[in-house]
Each structure stands twice: as structure tokens, then as C-alpha cells.
A and B are shown apart, each in its own frame.
Chain A
Amino acid sequence: MKEQLELIKQNALAALEAAADTAALDEQRVKWLGKKGELTAVLKMMGKLSAEERPVMGQLANSVRAEIEAKLEQRKAELSACALEAKLAAESIDVTIPGKAVELGHQHPMNQVLQQVKDIFVGLGYTVVDGPEVELADYNFTRLNIEEGHPSRDRSDTFYFNDEDSVLLRTQTSSMQIRFMENNKPPLCMLAPGRVFRKDEADATHSPMFHQIEGLVVDEHITMGDLKGALITIMRAIYGEDAQMRFRPHHFPFTEPSCEMDMQCHKCHGTGEVDGNVCPTCHGEGWIELLGAGMVHPDVLRNCGIDPEKYSGFAFGMGLERMAMGRLKINDLRLIFDNNIKFLEQF
């Protein structure tokens, strides 16, 4: 009997190993372990054994059954893994086929640059404001110390709506200085970006409509050192930490002292030359003009009901188009307002 069991075990294990799929495996299970299977048939003969032999054979038979069952489970797992592998292999795809298109729109490049600038200022505590584009001469000129007869008030420079030249398209966002000071009390910290208009024919560097960003800070004890510190911090945030800046005197009717801020040309590093030729970026100057600024003129503070003996402040203004064109290397201003989708999609 012992030999019989050993033989069953050997044959069963071999047969299970040979089963090629789950159906064949099941067939073998029935053949060896089923009610009419071979192992069952042997066990049925247990009754004929002696009392001493019976437990020994019983133990052996159980271990043979366990081995066959273990083998059966192992083969089952192997075969199902194989089947899954085959199924997955059949399902394989070409992952280089493009994804299903999700169309995303593009922010206008100018507004991308503007958004970045605004975020920097907001982080420094500036309040962003918006104001009228059709404006009174009083806000655009008079209260900014730009008197009647000043050339910038000429009809060759400024668009007017009435015979008295009192309603116009604002020529500068500086009008927002007056509006903000009129409606708020110091401390003031304002940023006013927006459209401005001047009577220039459109060409590669001019447009009758363009954008400026105006800033204003008013509080007690604000100094020109503060103006420098603030503008250097902001411009480095925009142009990079290693940007070199300089200030030089200038004139604006609504600031005193006034200045312009230049950045050292990143192309020629201030030498004005590239490979022995005049630097194409700064035209040989070595510096690129960034903005105009200055300490708010006492008369302007007074015009807005702020006591210049108690308060001082600084203001600055910069052209957005120039900044965007410089950073994005756009060489023709007309592209900005052309709105060709092929242009917009580049950014």
C-alpha cells in the first residue's frame, strides 16, 4: 500500500505539472483527489489494514493528499498568472500616440508680464487700483504741476473730447496718484497699472494706446533712500538678483528731486560693445532705461490735501510694453495689438 501511495504521489505531481491550463488542471484534480479518484480508491482499502498499520498508512495518505493539494494550488496560481500575463500582453498599446487634446488658452504676453509685476508689488503690500481712462485735465495735468501751455498738453500730443481741453484720454497713469491721494489718507502704498493714450502713429516702437504701471508711496519720513531701496528690490525681483542698477537725475513736473533708473545692459554688461560692434540691445549706451521716479512734489501733495511738512513720498512710472518686449524679445510693438493666435500661443 505504501508503494501504491508513493506511486500515486509521483504520478499525480507529474500530471499536475504537465497540465497546460486551468481546465486540464481541474481534470487532474478529479482524477487524483475526486470521489472516484485514485487516492480515494486507495483510502477505501484502509479498512483492510491491521490496527498497527492503519495509523501509519493514514498519516502517509494524508501527507500525500496535502502534497497533491499544495501542488494543485501552486499550479493554479502559476496558470492564472500566465493567463493574466497573456491578457495584458494582448492589451498593450503604443504609448507614443498623442494624448487626447485638451485645448488651453493663453494669457496675452503683456498681461503675463503685468501679472508677475503686480504679484511682486502685492507681496510688498501695495494696493492695486484701477481708474478712469477718459480723464479730466485737472487730474492728468493741472494737479500734477503740468501747467496750461505745457507742450504735453498740446493737441498734437493728447487726445481731447471738448473745446476747453478739459476732458481727455489720460496720457499717463500718474492721474491715479491724484485720485488715490484724494480718496485715501496716508500711509499710502499704491500700484496703478492701466491703459494710456498719446497721439503717436503706430509703428515698431510707438502705439497710440499703451500701458503704464504707476506706483505711489506716501507716509511720514519717506526718503529718497527709501525710493532707491524699494525700486532696486522690485526690479531685482523682476530682472534677477544680479541686475545692476543706477539712478540719474531727470525732470518730471510732479516729482522733485526726480530721477530715472537704468539697468546695466545684460547683453554687453555695460561695455556698449559686443564682438567689437555696437551692442544691439542698449545701442552702445551700456544701460537700459527702466523707469522714471522721484519724490512727490510738495505742490502735488498740497493739491491733494496732504501736508508736505508732515508727509513725504515717492512715485514711479514705467512702460509695460517696453518691459514685456525686452523680456520676451518681441521686436515690433504692433505684434502686441495684432492678436494673431499664432503669436499669442507662443507664450
Chain B
Amino acid sequence: MKLNRKWLHEEFVDLSHVSDKEFVETMTVAGQKVETYERMDAEIKNVVVGKVVSIVRHENSDHMWVCQVDVGQEEPVQIVTGAQNVKQGDLVPAALHNSYLPGGIHITKGKLRGEKSNGMLCSFAELGLTQNDLPDAYADGIWILNDEDCKPGDDINLVIGNDDTIVDFEITNNRPDCYSIIGLAREAAAAFDKPMRHHEPVVKGSDVGSMYEMLDVEVPAENLCNRYSSRMVKNVKIAPSPKWLRQRLRANGVRPINNIVDITNYVMLEYGQPMHAFDYRYVGSGKIVVREATEGETLTTLDGNVRQLKPGMLVIADENKPIGLAGIMGGENSEILDDTTTVVFESANFNGTSIRQTALALGMRTESSGKFEKNLDPMMTVPAVQRACELVELLQCGDVMDGIIDIINYVPSPKTLELEPEKINRLLGTEISEADMVSYLNRLEIPVEGRTIHVPSFRPDLNLMADIAEEVGRLYGYNEIPTTAFKNATQGGYSPEMIMENKAGQLCRSLGFSEIITYSFVSPAIFDQIRLPADSVLRNAMRIQNPLGEDTSIMRTIAVPSMLDILARNNAYHNKSVKLYELAKIYLPTEGQVLPEEPKMLVLGTYGEGTDFFTLKGQLEAIFTGLRVKKATYSAVSDNPTYHPGRCAVVSIDGVELGYLGQIHPLVAQNYGMDVDVYCAEINFTKLFDLRLPDVTYTPLPKYPSVSRDLSLICDEAVTVAQIEDVITAAAGKLLRSVKLFDIYRGKGVAEGKKSMAFSLELRADDRTLTDADSEGVITKVLTALSEKLNATLR
């Protein structure tokens, strides 16, 4: 909401002695935050009123003139102009040497076809004005100032009315009253503790008859229209508004049109009450009906667009057809024209949500709808229409008829609250006296009688003690409230799962993986990109009904695609070797639950130098060790189409499947535009958390030495390391402390279809030194079992 300070000083509260900076800071700290402010004369510099002393043809041009211009200095200055409407004796805007015009245009002296020109004579457009601002001025030449109250040398900004500051406030949703000059004036008066001048509109009236004989208003849409107030004006003479009114509109960004339309806009700015004026000629049968639109109805709005209406949208209609879109924009079929003679003023209060939804549905948010959607004060309709009629009389643009139609469906009942100074002080942590509280409320025009607060109708936001505390607090000054330290009675800290997440991140980073953050929503196309089977349950994702786009339309049920996306992007950036991790949620719809399960996934992804399956597996194992979870097992899977069929393992702990580890299938990599080997691991971290080992206690260090025995075995190619380890572990008994693979060999000396694998076994007893017989016994059992179960023999 914009406010020009001159309007404030001239009509409501004189703060002209307060600097812009102080005004802005005080208003902000008192509760009306200023977003920006700007001097209106900031753009025009060194442009003055000049009087054309003489004007002669340019010797070398058939269209230019050489003028001697009195600019209030000792000597006239010479300025060349190409305009044809300047005469000797005219007052004109003269941009002097080293002057600035709107848009950053810099004017300096120079020569035009050999003649010196010490500046430029200006049109009004060059000064940022329009024909609407200056209805009587000549557009195609220099702006002639003969009728303005000015003399040579005057700053042109004063003539234009630019000696003003525009302050733009961020108005919060709870303060619809501040979407008006009066509302902001009230806040300014309170903030600076100055009295505010009030003006009650007075309509003199005339003898042109009563509106009741001409107009009938019905409001069948009771729920959508709280109040509809209306007055009529006869013998209207459409003309431009006076300069003071045009300037106030312009300062607030409203284009002047004509006196009647300008009056409605002026009242909207001043009172915050949007108004509309209908040409009575086009109100069929003299009847206004405020109703919902019917299916298939259309209306051409003032901007020339044909609007398709629907039930639920509120229209202003005559007996037969809509003539306005309630609270948003009038209809072209009833707009004020130059020959309009009888006007119906509408000052209504519509349901805010309905107006907002209609404006949204039709894609036409207007100044008026923007105000209505905040839910305005229904008590404002009558003063506003009175003010409009008063202005009609002031501007002498018509005769106000007798009578006022005022249909009331809802007005709030008067509300009182108890002033509770002790509770307010207890909430704020202050010791403000009751008298001071009353004075703050009075400054805001909130009357208090004893301990009864009479909440004005323009303050629907005041409903309980805390609301009053805020009013007291902000005028006392939030920054004056003493700061205190409460005694925190809670221990606080991280949950065990968060501690483990933190640890996982540290481990990943110590292994060279960098962290990424990716969107929770993804494209449904990812499922095909990772070759997920058509019947996979993971395709059952939460679908956003109103996504930004297809690419962000479903909640991910799997985290690997986001990783692949980022790896692919890094590959496209020519980053040669990349190791990344993400620890974030997936969203799994769950039978019988409204909300999905949101487990956290740890995803590792890597490509480039030094990456292969076993490097990544080793890193994953290191992370598991660091996280102190139980021992993981890895079994080959060839049916996960996202991964290389021969290089993928399902990772489990205690029979709980945690996820996959492997090389991404080349076709999947290709789908992401990558022609490099890509490796990923995806681990359900939420499940992993439940599989952590119990807290550690000390195990005594071994007292007796261990015996190490190496076995070099020959077995079929199909036999896995895990199989051999399992057989050894089962056969060796409790003396076996560890079994480790240390070599795999194929080739010379090993038959085709066979391979050699070498394992190192560590044997130890807690209570004695092992004898050769002990270890021989174990090895014999192991070799027998290997031979029987896996057909593996000593090499």
C-alpha cells in the first residue's frame, strides 16, 4: 500500500517536520513495515520553468527554432527546440545543462546544426507525465505552463507536484484497515503521538428528486454480499478532475480518467473502500441484482476482455444481464462515458474469499479485488458513498439525489474486551502502567472505559488479551521490552538416530564422498529411466495434484534416480571423478495410512578414476563398521534391472534387506546420458538404525598366541567366497577367530572352469597355547567339509 506523505500532512496529521528516514523507521518499528520509499523528484534534476524571451528560425534548419529563455538567472540561456508550438512569452519546462529526466536521461549542452543549445525544452511525456495527468495540455510539443502558478526559475518538480515522498508499506493480512490513507494516517498519528484530524463527509443534497423512484436493489446472494450501499447523482457533467485530485491519484499510481471515475478511485485510496460507478442508462429496468452468475453467462469487463462466468462468481446484474463483476471490475456495458448524465455509486462489502477465488479463477486480480479479499469493514460502505457524493458537490460535477439504499446482510456486532494489565505485563515481561496502556489504545482510536475496551469495527483482528498485548507492546516499543533469560528446564540434544545420521555423514566424507541435497519430488519418467518393472510396487508414488510441472509431480519412492541425475549433471560439467552421498527421505504410500512412511535412505554414487565394485563395497563396509551395525551379508542378484546383472548385490543384516550395491546397468547410465561406469549403493538408513550393535564393553585381550594357517583351494568357478567362508566357519568350530580371503587365481596350473582361492585362517584358544595337533584337527575338519560340500580341494 502506497502513501504519499503530502496527502497525509495536508489532510490528516502534520508530520512534515519529520524526515523521510525518521518517518520510515518510526512507522516500521511501530508496526507498519515500510518496504521502500522514494522521493518523487528523485528522477528530475535541474529542470526549471523558463520564459521564452525570443524565438527565431534556426538558420540551417527548416523546422528548428532558436529560443532565448529566461530561467530566472541574470542572463537568458539559448536553447534550440524542434517543437512547433512555442511562442514568445510562453512559460515552458527547460532542462538546463547537466540536468536529468525520468529514465536516467542526462541532458548536457551541445550544438545543433551549428547553433549552441544549453539544454532542452520538454514535453510533459519527457517529464514522466501522461495526457491523463494533464487533460488540457498539448501532447505533441512542448508543455506550455502559462496557466500554471509558476515563474521563471521555479523547480519544475514543484509545478508537477513532485515535492513529495511515496512510501510503500507491507500491510499484514490482519490489518485490512491499513489498505487506506486514513488507516495509515491513524497508525502514523499513533506512532508519533500526534492528534489526527477527522473529517465527516457532509452532503448538501439538491432538489432533483429521490433515488428510490428510479432504482431498486436486490441482493439474493446474501452470503457473498454483506452490505450494499448506493446513492445516485443526476445532471452529471463529465470533465477532468482538478489538479489537486489528479496529483494525489498520480502519486499513488492511479491514472486519472474523469471526475466521476476519479472520485471512486480517490475514495478507494482514502477510505480503503472500493467503489464503482454505473451509468444509469444501462441499468436495465432501473434494477440492480447482486447474484451469483449462471452457467454459460458472459461479461465483457472494462478492460475489453470477455469473461466466462460460473455459478459461485458474484455479479452485479440488472434485470437481464450482468453489468459488473462484483468487487473486481465493472462491465463495459455500463461504464461511465463522456455523455453520462446519471450515475449510480456502489459502495458494497463482499465476501473476501469469494472475491479472491473468482479473481484467481479469471486471472484478473485488481486493486479492488486485492482490497476486498482482506475482508473489509462493512461499516465503511456508507461513509465512503457519502464521501463520494461530497466530492461530487465539491467538484461541481452533478446533483446528488435524495436517499440512500443500504442493504445489510451482515455487520459485526459491537465487541468489547476486558483490559487486563497484569496479564499483559506477564506476557510481555514488562511493568507498563494501566494508564499508559489506555493511552496507547486511545492513540490507536480504540476507546477504553474503565477496564472495558470497545473494539472499533475497523479492527476485527482484536479478539483476546494477546491481541491487546501486541497493541500495547508495539506502542511501548518492542525494542524497549527488557530482554531476559528464561530458565530452560529441559535437557535437550539429538535423538540417537540423528547422532547416527551425523556419524554416517562424517564417515562418508572421510571416505571422500561429498554431500548433495536433491528435491523430494521427481518425474514419473524416472521409473522407466531406471528400467523399473511395470508391476513394481515402487511405481505406486504419492502424486501431487497441482505440481509445478511433470518433472516435480511425484514424491520419490526410490532415491537412486536423484543421485543418477546429479552424477549425470556433474559428468556433463566435465567433472572427471565424482563421489557423492545423500541422506534423505523417500515417501512410501502405506496401506491403511493417510500419510506415507518416510524412511531415510543413504545413497552413495560414484564414477571416474579408481572406482569399481569392490572399492565401493569396501567403503560401504567401512561405513557399517564405523556405524557399529551388525555384520552385513551380500548376495548376488541379477534381476534388479537398474543394476548390472552380474555386478549387483543385495545388502542384508540379520535377514533384513537394506538395499543394493552395484554397478548401474549401462542402459540406465545411457538413459542419464552417461557413457562411464557408474556405481551406486542405496541403504535404508531407518532400518539400519534398528540393526546397530548393543553398547560395547571390554573383551580381555588374548593371553595365548594364535596360529595362522593358509589354505589354497581349487574349486569350481561358480563357488563364491561367501560359500567357502560359510563352510569353513561352520566346520572349524570355536577355535577359528577369523577367515580372510587373500588371493584369487585363474590360469596356468588351474584347470579351465576352475579357480584357485587362498584363505588365511586364524586359530586361537582362550585358555592355552594351541598345539600342532589342535590346528591339524581343525584344518582336517575344514578340508573334509569343503571337499564334501563344495568339491573344493587343496591346490
- Give residues in A with beta carbon < 8 Å to B: 103-108, 110-111, 115, 118, 121-122, 124-130, 132-136, 149, 151, 154-156, 159-163, 166-167, 169, 187-189, 195, 197, 199, 201, 208-209, 217, 219, 221-226, 228-230, 232-233, 246-251, 256-260, 284, 295, 297-298, 312, 336-342, 344-345
6 A-B pairs in the complex with CB atoms less than 8 angstroms apart: A104-B512, A111-B505, A128-B498, A151-B373, A159-B521, A224-B427
Q: Is the CB of B520 within 8 A of A340?
A: no
Q: Is the CB of B595 within 8 A of A134?
A: yes
| B: number of interface residues (CB 8 Å) | 86
Instruction: Decide: A104 near B481, CB < 8 A? Known: A122-B492, A134-B587, A219-B489.
Output: no
B516 interfacial by beta-carbon distance below 8 Å: yes
- A contact residues around B638 at 8 Å (CB): none
Instruction: Indicate which residue in A129, A149, A160 contacts B545 across the interface (CB closer than 8 Å).
Output: A160
B73 interfacial by beta-carbon distance below 8 Å: no
Instruction: Decide: A162 near B545, CB < 8 A? Known: A224-B427, A344-B514.
Output: yes
- B contact residues around A233 at 8 Å (CB): 485
* CA distance in complex: A169, B519 (Å): 12
User: In the complex, how many angstroms separate the beta carbon of B483 from the nearest chain A beta carbon?
Assistant: 4
Instruction: Decide: A105 near B484, CB < 8 A? Known: A133-B585, A201-B548, A224-B429.
Output: no
* CA distance in complex: A312, B423 (Å): 11
Stretch at the interface among B338-346, B445-453, B468-476, B660-668: B468-476
Q: Is the CB of B508 within 8 A of A226?
A: no
- B contact residues around A132 at 8 Å (CB): 595, 598
Q: Is the CB of A161 within 8 A of B429?
A: no
Q: Is the CB of A188 within 8 A of B31?
A: no
Instruction: Indicate which residue in A125, A223, A228 contacts B427 across the interface (CB closer than 8 Å).
Output: A223
Q: Is the CB of A126 within 8 A of B174?
A: no
Stretch at the interface among B380-388, B576-584, B695-703: B576-584
Instruction: Decide: A339 near B481, CB < 8 A? Known: A134-B595, A295-B427.
Output: no
Q: Is the CB of B513 within 8 A of A247?
A: no
User: In the complex, how many angstroms separate the beta carbon of B170 from the nearest chain A beta carbon?
Assistant: 9
List the 9 closest pairs (A to B, CB-CB), nearest first.
A225-B429, A223-B429, A257-B470, A103-B512, A251-B172, A105-B509, A249-B31, A125-B492, A256-B466
- B contact residues around A259 at 8 Å (CB): 478
- Give residues in B with beta carbon < 8 Å to A: 28-31, 33, 36, 172-175, 353, 356, 360, 373, 426-430, 461, 464-467, 469-470, 473-474, 478-479, 481-486, 488-495, 497-498, 502, 505, 508-521, 542-548, 552, 555, 566, 569-570, 573, 575, 578-581, 585, 587, 594-596, 598
Q: Is the CB of A297 within 8 A of B466?
A: yes
Q: Is the CB of A337 within 8 A of B517?
A: yes
* CA distance in complex: A309, B705 (Å): 72
* CA distance in complex: A224, B505 (Å): 38
Q: Is the CB of A226 within 8 A of B520?
A: no
Closest to B583 in A: A111
Q: Is the CB of B473 within 8 A of A189?
A: no
* CA distance in complex: A104, B569 (Å): 21
- A contact residues around B430 at 8 Å (CB): 224-225
Instruction: Indicate which residue in A130, A159, A344 contacts B544 across the interface (CB closer than 8 Å).
Output: A159
Instruction: Indicate which residue in A106, A110, A246 contacts B479 across the interface (CB closer than 8 Å).
Output: A246
19 new A-B contacts at CB < 8 Å, known A132-B598, A199-B548? A105-B511, A107-B509, A108-B517, A125-B488, A161-B545, A169-B520, A208-B552, A209-B521, A223-B428, A224-B429, A224-B473, A225-B481, A228-B484, A230-B485, A246-B478, A257-B469, A258-B470, A339-B580, A342-B575
- B contact residues around A122 at 8 Å (CB): 492-494
* CA distance in complex: A337, B544 (Å): 21
- A contact residues around B573 at 8 Å (CB): 340-342
Q: Is the CB of A229 within 8 A of B484?
A: yes
* CA distance in complex: A312, B413 (Å): 30
Instruction: Indicate which residue in A107, A136, A166, A189 contacts B490 across the interface (CB closer than 8 Å).
Output: A189
Instruction: Decide: A128 near B494, CB < 8 A? Known: A209-B521, A248-B33.
Output: yes
User: In the complex, how many angstroms separate the beta carbon of A296 from the nearest chain B beta carbon?
Assistant: 9
* CA distance in complex: A178, B739 (Å): 54
* CA distance in complex: A64, B461 (Å): 115
- A contact residues around B490 at 8 Å (CB): 125-127, 187-189
Q: Is the CB of A256 within 8 A of B470?
A: yes
- B contact residues around A108 at 8 Å (CB): 514-517
Q: Is the CB of B488 within 8 A of A124?
A: yes
- A contact residues around B175 at 8 Å (CB): 251
User: In the complex, how many angstroms separate the beta carbon of A73 from the nearest chain B beta carbon?
Assistant: 42
- A contact residues around B505 at 8 Å (CB): 107, 111
- A contact residues around B28 at 8 Å (CB): 248
User: In the complex, how many angstroms separate the beta carbon of B745 from the nearest chain A beta carbon?
Assistant: 29
Q: Is the CB of A225 within 8 A of B509?
A: no
Q: Is the CB of B492 within 8 A of A228?
A: no
Closest to B474 in A: A249
Instruction: Decide: A127 near B492, CB < 8 A? Known: A167-B594, A224-B481.
Output: yes
- B contact residues around A228 at 8 Å (CB): 478, 481, 483-484
Q: Is the CB of B484 within 8 A of A223?
A: yes
* CA distance in complex: A247, B543 (Å): 41
Q: Is the CB of B33 within 8 A of A250?
A: yes
Q: Is the CB of B510 within 8 A of A104?
A: yes
Instruction: Indicate which residue in A133, A217, A312, A336 contacts B517 across the interface (CB closer than 8 Å).
Output: A336
* CA distance in complex: A340, B565 (Å): 11
Q: Is the CB of B493 within 8 A of A208?
A: no
- A contact residues around B497 at 8 Å (CB): 130
- A contact residues around B580 at 8 Å (CB): 339, 341
Instruction: Decide: A339 near B566, CB < 8 A? Known: A110-B517, A167-B595.
Output: yes
Q: Is the CB of A341 within 8 A of B578?
A: yes
* CA distance in complex: A126, B518 (Å): 27
* CA distance in complex: A169, B483 (Å): 36
User: In the complex, how many angstroms separate the beta carbon of A140 from the nearest chain B beta carbon?
Assistant: 12
Q: Is the CB of B581 within 8 A of A105?
A: yes
* CA distance in complex: A189, B356 (Å): 38
* CA distance in complex: A129, B490 (Å): 14
Instruction: Decide: A217 near B486, CB < 8 A? Known: A105-B515, A247-B478, A344-B516.
Output: yes
Q: Is the CB of A209 within 8 A of B481?
A: no
Q: Is the CB of B426 within 8 A of A223?
A: yes
